């Protein structure tokens, strides 16, 4: 286990003694690797959190990624395994707890931060929707899917970020949805390869498009102007959600703000790159460069360390 991971787990164990258990520590490390390998943008942002909070974010991401891979894997999808695993996980919460590493880490995180079971059930329901649903006629239909796949992720993160006011709930939910819609815009080509369209049918019709037009463009490796116009429309909708989410950036504990703001900027930067590419996303995957990610994260890291020092001095003075 990397030294930084062990240090974060040690810090978390100071208030959660369960994390002294070597097997549980290994479970959290499994989640950290999933996060680091598959969620590089978000993983970079979470490095700005106090060390004691990071393992729980690893667990949230690891759980989501592990479930998602059952239905999103290009090489080995296994929808039946998703159903069995999710059923076993939920059942285990009422018994002696999960036994697989990802499930164990998630259960501990739910307990430590009072994450409601209903939010986890909503997430798993959306993952199951990916087994049978390949498109959504309206934005309202898509929103029901996105609530479970993304909004509840924002809500699960909120206790870890320590909100200062109940008003932080709506921006947290909006940010989760904005992240998901950003992924839909960036990954439209890859989703077509999985046979799915996460752009509402009513929006396609607005620009004179059909699902078949998208699949044909993907096969041809081109992005017609009508598709670019559609993606510009979806980008504007997503930016409105980011604007709503921005209101909540300062509604969390000072030691969490730079993590949240950095994630907000990095994901918003994906939309910037999509726009810079002229919405040409059917032939390639647009990425934010490592240099750009570091340029956003490094100032946040400096501020985050300052906030943690101030918090430490305040606690020392209070004692």
pLDDT of residue 27: 95
Structure tokens at 133: 């649903």
| Residue entry with tokens 């090489």 | 75
Looking at the structure, tell me whether residues 291 and 149 fall in a common domain: yes
pLDDT of residue 315: 55
pLDDT digits (tens, 9 = 90+) for 240-291: 999 999 999 999 999 999 889 988 998 899 999 999 999 999 988 877 666 6
Q: What angle do CA 103, 66, 268 make, to 5 degrees?
A: 120
Looking at the structure, tell me whether residues 225 and 257 fall in a common domain: yes
pTM: 0.87
Q: Which residue has the higher pLDDT, 167 or 302?
A: 167
Q: What is the DSSP letter of 149?
A: I
Mean pLDDT of 131-144: 95
Looking at the structure, tell me whether residues 166 and 288 fall in a common domain: yes
pLDDT of residue 96: 82
Looking at the structure, tell me whether residues 89 and 194 fall in a common domain: no
Structural domain for 118, as ranges: 1-132
Show which of 132, 147, 163 is a domain's final residue. 132
pLDDT digits (tens, 9 = 90+) for 39-96: 777 788 888 899 999 999 999 999 999 998 888 776 777 889 999 999 999 999 988 8
Looking at the structure, tell me whether residues 93 and 169 fall in a common domain: no
| Residue entry with tokens 């929103």 | 143
Residue 94 CB burial class (10 angstroms; 0-12, 13-18, ≥19):
exposed
Question: Quick check: 309 pLDDT over 70?
Answer: no
pLDDT digits (tens, 9 = 90+) for 80-104: 999 999 999 999 998 888 889 999 9
Looking at the structure, tell me whether residues 88 and 234 fall in a common domain: no
Looking at the structure, tell me whether residues 157 and 106 fall in a common domain: no
Q: What angle do CA 80, 82, 85 make, to 5 degrees?
A: 110
- Count of domains observed in the chain: 2
Looking at the structure, tell me whether residues 128 and 153 fall in a common domain: no
pLDDT of residue 120: 96
pLDDT digits (tens, 9 = 90+) for 158-182: 999 999 999 999 999 999 999 999 9
Looking at the structure, tell me whether residues 84 and 152 fall in a common domain: no
From residue 116, give the alpha-carbon distance in Å to each of 106, 112, 122: 12, 11, 10
Contacts of 187 (CB under 8 A, 6+ apart): 285
Show which of 103, 132, 161 is a domain's final residue. 132
Looking at the structure, tell me whether residues 128 and 228 fall in a common domain: no
pLDDT of residue 304: 54
Looking at the structure, tell me whether residues 142 and 274 fall in a common domain: yes
Structure tokens at 68: 């998602």
pLDDT digits (tens, 9 = 90+) for 104-128: 999 999 999 999 999 999 999 999 9
Structure tokens at 229: 């116009």
pLDDT digits (tens, 9 = 90+) for 181-203: 999 999 999 999 999 999 999 99
CATH at residue 34: 1.10.600.10
Show which of 114, 132, 150 is a domain's final residue. 132
Q: For residues 210 and 184, what is the distance between their CA atoms, to the nearest angstrom?
A: 17
pLDDT digits (tens, 9 = 90+) for 273-286: 999 999 999 988 87
Looking at the structure, tell me whether residues 215 and 71 fall in a common domain: no
């Amino acid at each position: 286990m990397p030294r930084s991971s062990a240090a974060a787990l040690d810090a978390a164990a100071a208030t959660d003694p369960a994390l002294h258990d070597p097997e549980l520590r290994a479970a959290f490390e499994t989640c950290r690797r999933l996060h680091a390998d598959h969620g590089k943008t978000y993983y970079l942002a979470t490095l700005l959190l106090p060390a004691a909070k990071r393992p729980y974010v690893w667990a949230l991401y690891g759980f989501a990624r592990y479930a998602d891979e059952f239905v999103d894997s290009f090489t080995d999808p296994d929808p039946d395994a998703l159903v069995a695993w999710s059923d076993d996980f939920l059942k285990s919460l009422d018994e002696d707890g999960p036994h697989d590493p990802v499930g164990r880490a998630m259960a501990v995180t739910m307990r430590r931060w009072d994450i409601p079971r209903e939010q986890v059930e909503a997430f798993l329901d959306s993952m199951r929707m990916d087994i049978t649903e390949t498109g959504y006629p309206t934005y309202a239909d898509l929103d029901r899917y996105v609530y479970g796949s993304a909004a509840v992720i924002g809500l699960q993160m909120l206790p870890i970020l320590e909100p200062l006011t109940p008003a932080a709930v709506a921006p947290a939910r909006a940010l989760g949805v904005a992240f998901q819609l950003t992924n839909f815009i960036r990954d439209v080509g890859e989703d077509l390869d999985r046979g799915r369209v996460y752009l509402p049918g009513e929006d396609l019709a607005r620009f004179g498009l059909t699902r078949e037009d998208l699949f044909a463009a993907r096969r041809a490796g081109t992005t017609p102007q009508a598709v670019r116009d559609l993606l510009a429309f979806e980008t504007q909708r997503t930016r409105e959600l980011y604007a709503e989410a921005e209101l909540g950036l300062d509604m969390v504990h000072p030691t969490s703000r730079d993590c949240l703001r950095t994630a907000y900027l990095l994901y918003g930067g994906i939309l910037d790159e999509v726009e810079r590419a002229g919405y040409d996303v059917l032939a390639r995957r647009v990425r934010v460069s490592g240099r750009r990610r570091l340029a956003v994260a490094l100032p946040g890291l400096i501020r985050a360390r300052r906030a943690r020092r101030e918090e430490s001095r305040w606690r020392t003075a209070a004692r």
